[in-house]
Structures are given as C-alpha cells and as structure tokens.
C-alpha cells in the first residue's frame, strides 16, 4: 500500500491492492487520514470494508469514520451509510459492551439501522399490525373478544380488527375500540390473549419511540 501526494497541500490518495494488505489482525489504521483512493479498488465499498476490518479484533471507530467521509466526498451516501452500519455491527461484536449493551445494539440495528435507516422500522410496524389484525379478527370470531358491557355499548360500537390493532399498537391513538371491546375473562384462552396484548402494546411503544428518535436525530449514532 502506498500513500500518494507531492506535499501537504495535495490530497493524499491510497493506492493499493488486496495483495499488499497485511494479514487480518495486523493492520493498524487508527488515525490514518486520506482524501481518496487510486487504483482499481476505488468504487468497491465491500472490498474497502474488508480492508478496514483487517484491523479487527482491535476495534477503533476512526477508520470507519474516515472511510465514510471519503465516500461522502465522492457523493456516495449509500456507501457511506453501509460503512457506518458495518461500524455498528463490528462495535457490537468487538466493542466493550455489557450484555444489555449488546441487546440494545441489536435492537437498534434491526429496527432503525443504528439511526441511519429510521424508516426501516416501518416494516416492523406494518408486519406487527397486519399480523395482529388477523389474530384479533379470529379472536373475535371465536368469542375471545367480547363487548365490555353489552347493555351500555352503543349501536355504532362495531368491532373493527384493524382499528383495534392500531389503537392497541400506536401510543395515544383512540378509536374507542378498547373502550367497548375486551378479552372475555370467562374463556380459558383469555390469559394468553391478554399476554399477547401486553407484548404487542409494549412493542408498539418501543418501535414508535425508536422511529421518532431516529427521524428526529435523537438517537446517538456511534
């Protein structure tokens, strides 16, 4: 690997090939600053990630940040995000994290992409609501969900599985479904439905909190 540049005013380019790289675990890139690449490896983000990962298991954030910075300067934001996702993955595996820290990292990765892909959580939201709509519809047909008070339920209080799923899942949303429809406490399966509702509601709070934090930039990106 060679650093190319005539003096301090000229952009430093890394001109290398895979054959010039040291063995995994023997490359030290922390603190290395450069402005671009020469040679045939310029456009390949996957190969460049293999290069950065030659430093592992000694994890440092600066080599990933530097690589992402170069891709952004090349107007390749998608590749820059891929580098930052790889940094998060490697931090989870090689960083000094507690068990709960690793769990938090995994949840962040698969819901909002460590804050770099907050819209990713919408797929989880859509899947959760769709599945629960189907389950609540079947529960109503089997008599597991009944009117809260048949003598007081107004005529317009018709059970709507989608509205029930949305109201249960989305914080502060009110379609008056939970007000008029409840699990039947006399049925043996009722306790399982209540447990599912608790987990489903908790998942809704978690996903919408992460989504809002990701979109607003409140998630602390590594």
Please write the tens of the pLDDT for every residue from 109-166. Answer: 888 888 888 888 889 999 999 999 999 999 999 999 988 877 766 666 789 999 999 9
Ordered by start, the domain boundaries in the chain are: 2-96, 120-216
Strands in the chain per DSSP E? 2-4, 13-15, 36-38, 145-147, 181-183
Instruction: Tell me which DSSP letter residue 175 carries.
Output: -
Q: How far apart are CA 166 and CA 67, in angstroms?
A: 42
CA distances for 148 relative to 113, 119, 140, 152, 200, angstroms: 41, 36, 13, 8, 20
Strand partners, 14: 3, 37
Among 213, 128, 222, CA closest to 166: 128
CA distances for 67 relative to 80, 91, 135, 144, 171, angstroms: 7, 16, 46, 55, 39
Query: What is the pTM assigned to this prediction?
Result: 0.74
Q: How far apart are CA 59 and CA 57, in angstroms?
A: 6
Q: What angle do CA 93, 96, 101 make, to 5 degrees?
A: 75
Q: List strands edge to edge, sheet with 36-38.
A: 2-4, 13-15, 36-38
Q: How far apart are CA 69 and CA 65, in angstroms?
A: 6
Note the pLDDT of residue 87. 95
pLDDT at residue 4 greater than cutoff 80:
no
Note the pLDDT of residue 7. 43
Given a contact cutoff of 8 angstroms between Cβ atoms, the answer to whether 41 and 67 are in contact is no
Higher-confidence position of 220 and 108: 108
């Amino acid at each position: 690997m060679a650093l190319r540049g005539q003096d301090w005013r000229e952009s430093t380019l890394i001109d290398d090939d895979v054959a010039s790289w040291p063995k995994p675990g023997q490359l030290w890139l922390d603190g290395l600053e450069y402005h671009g690449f020469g040679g045939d490896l310029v456009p390949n983000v996957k190969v460049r990630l293999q290069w950065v990962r030659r430093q592992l298991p000694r994890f440092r954030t600066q080599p990933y940040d530097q690589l992402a910075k170069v891709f952004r300067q090349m107007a390749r934001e998608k590749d820059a995000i891929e580098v930052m996702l790889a940094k998060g993955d490697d931090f989870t595996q090689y960083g000094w994290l507690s068990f709960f820290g690793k769990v938090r990292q995994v949840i962040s990765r698969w819901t909002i992409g460590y804050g770099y892909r907050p819209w990713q959580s919408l797929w989880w939201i859509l899947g959760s609501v769709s599945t629960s709509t189907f389950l609540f519809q079947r529960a109503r047909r089997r008599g597991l969900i009944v009117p809260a008070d048949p003598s007081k339920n107004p005529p317009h209080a018709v059970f709507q599985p989608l509205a029930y799923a949305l109201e249960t899942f989305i914080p502060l949303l009110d379609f008056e479904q939970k007000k008029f429809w409840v699990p039947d406490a006399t049925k043996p399966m009722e306790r399982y439905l209540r447990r599912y509702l608790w987990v489903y509601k908790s998942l809704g709070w978690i996903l919408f909190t992460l989504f809002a934090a990701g979109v607003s930039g409140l998630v602390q990106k590594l």
